[in-house]
Amino acid sequence: MLHDPLENSKTVFHGLRFDVRALDVETASGKTFKKQYIAHPGAVVILPLFDNGDVLLIRNQRFAVGQRLLELPAGTKEKGEEAATTAARELEEETGYTAKKLTLLTSFFTSPGITNENMDAYLAQGLIKTAQKLDESEEIEVEIHPLQKALEMVRTGEIKDGKSINALLFYQAFYLRL
């Protein structure tokens, strides 16, 4: 049986936003294997929805894939920060909007084969225009699209970011049907 990986793991690489940790894992058959994973503080993705049903998306430069991706705003939790606080902060920083109301839609592991990152998906409503507060390294453009167009962009592959696909489809499949 697998146990809590944080219990007996050691940091083999300390990064700016995450660490790589190593541990020995014993399986139910008694065999031991060396494993590594990315230890992540957690993150949020935000589905900003205007009163008319339009969705606020961002076009974000993603160096790991060498592309500018169309996605929902998102960000990493600061140490000790509540997810809703992260969602409010990242929404304003990346889009230049605040929300009167944040509603938790769902939580999920982003890629449990390599990381313990847990992501909370929030619906942001009652959007109020402020100003973007981008980090020096960020190149983010804001785009507004009707919800149905955003869902069509998921279907066609124009939106190919997993967290955005998850939040948009969860909202359509479950939240709208309540």
User: Which residues carry out catalysis?
Assistant: 136
Classified as helix, coil or strand, 7 is coil
Residue found by looking up tokens 């503080």 in the block: 41
Local structure of residue 173 (DSSP, 8 states)? I
Which tokens hold the place of 27?
Answer: 């399986």
Rg of the chain over all Cα atoms, to the nearest angstrom: 18
Which tokens hold the place of 64?
Answer: 């790991």
Helix axes 162-170, 147-156, angle to 10 degrees: 130
